[in-house]
Structure 1
Amino acid sequence: MVDARLEPMTDDEYKPWRIEAEAHYARSVAASGRSEVDSVRVAADAYAQLLPEENRTPDHHFWYAYGGDFRIGFLWMKVTDGAAFVYNVAVEPDLRRQGYGRAIMLAAERWCRDNELTRISLHVFAHNTGARALYEQLGFAETGRNMVKDLGNGSR
């Protein structure tokens, strides 16, 4: 079984991470059906609202995850009212589908337990079937569902 260690991001590490994380979120929004232009705006607005003080925004935690001496991914969580919300988690592209996502999420759970948090939740895009399957295997339960219907021009 693969294990992950969480190391807090430094200020210098956060800056390039933020740029790529926002761009990745924009791509996910686009994959869910929004235009590319709209997706970039949605992502920029979301990150500006969520992180007004960047990596110093209260209650937000940013880590790089390591397997031994090499970086395997990252994790961003917010803690409020005894619970954690995972805003972003990812495995390095060349390491995906090797158990590292599971390891990062289990490290997140350990961190939450160590900090006496009683719940961990997250959002996953419907098109991300691999992540959805992983979260279900880890015991996450679906608590809601967003739905959309594209009407196009003049459709009923």
Structure 2
Amino acid sequence: MNPPVVTLRAMRQDEYEDYRAGRDLEYVQSLAKTMPADAAMEKARQDRARFLPRGLATEHQRLLVAESATGQVVGFAWVGLEEPRSGTTDTAWLHDLKVEEPFRRSGYGRAILAAVEAVAREAGAARLGLNVFGANAPAIKLYQTCGYEVTAQQMAKRL
């Protein structure tokens, strides 16, 4: 079977509002596994204010919609064209990659990731970094099979 083809395009404002609401909810749910819910909501708010202070117009951030060969929206990606801690542009940062539910497990994640890598390369990045929650086994497997390596790791145990 041939891998699916995707095209990335800039996210529109109406798409951004829906994307942001859904991403915030998923982010808070993931954070709430390791911190109180109110702290998770506050961290999500602070992170959005830090990384997307101007929404779609935030400099060095690309919010992208992935479309199939038939023009159907199959997913989304948010890539920063600078490393978030240092601000250097030799490393781009994948803040989010989402494949819509009906298209999961059919190669779209890999296709979107490859397209994002091309965006990062075209912007001059030599590396693409990302964080992934430890419980997100499907994402971890995707990144590993695409050549990503662990560069840092946090661990915890519930007491």
RMSD between superposed Cα atoms in Å? 1.5
Equivalent positions of 1:86-101 (< 5 A) are 86-101=94-109
For structure 1, the 5+ residue unaligned runs are 152-156
Of the three residues 117, 120, 136, the one matched with 1:112 is 120
User: 1:102 is matched with which residue?
Assistant: 110
For residues 129-156 of structure 1, the C-alpha deviation after alignment (integer angstroms, 9 at most, x for no partner) is: 11001100000010001123444xxxxx
Count of matched residue positions in the alignment of Structure 1 and Structure 2: 150
TM-score of the aligned structures, taking structure 2 as reference length:
0.87
Percent identity, aligned pairs only, is 30
Name the amino acid aligned to 2:63. F
User: 1:143 is matched with which residue?
Assistant: 151
For residue 19 of structure 1, report the CA deviation from its aligned partner. 1.4
User: 2:7 is matched with which residue?
Assistant: 5
User: 1:83 is matched with which residue?
Assistant: 91
Q: Aligned partners of 2:104, 2:120: CA distance in 1, in Å?
A: 24
User: 2:37 is matched with which residue?
Assistant: 36
For residue 75 of structure 1, report the CA deviation from its aligned partner. 0.3
For residues 57-102 of structure 1, the C-alpha deviation after alignment (integer angstroms, 9 at most, x for no partner) is: 1111100001121000000011122221000110001211111111
Q: Aligned partners of 1:118, 1:21: CA distance in 2, in Å?
A: 27
For residue 54 of structure 1, report the CA deviation from its aligned partner. 1.6
8 Å CA contact 2:79–2:94 kept in 1: the answer is yes
In the alignment, is residue 16 of structure 1 matched against residue 18 of structure 2? yes
Q: Aligned partners of 1:97, 1:38: CA distance in 2, in Å?
A: 33
User: 1:66 is matched with which residue?
Assistant: 67
Q: Aligned partners of 2:157, 2:26: CA distance in 1, in Å?
A: 24
Q: Aligned partners of 1:84, 1:29: CA distance in 2, in Å?
A: 23
- Structure index of larger Rg: 1
TM-score of the aligned structures, taking structure 1 as reference length:
0.89
Q: Aligned partners of 2:49, 2:123: CA distance in 1, in Å?
A: 27
> Stretches of 4+ moved more than 6 A in 1?
none
For residues 27-68 of structure 1, the C-alpha deviation after alignment (integer angstroms, 9 at most, x for no partner) is: 1112x3323333222212211222111221111110000112
Q: Aligned partners of 1:120, 1:84: CA distance in 2, in Å?
A: 5
Q: Aligned partners of 1:105, 1:65: CA distance in 2, in Å?
A: 10
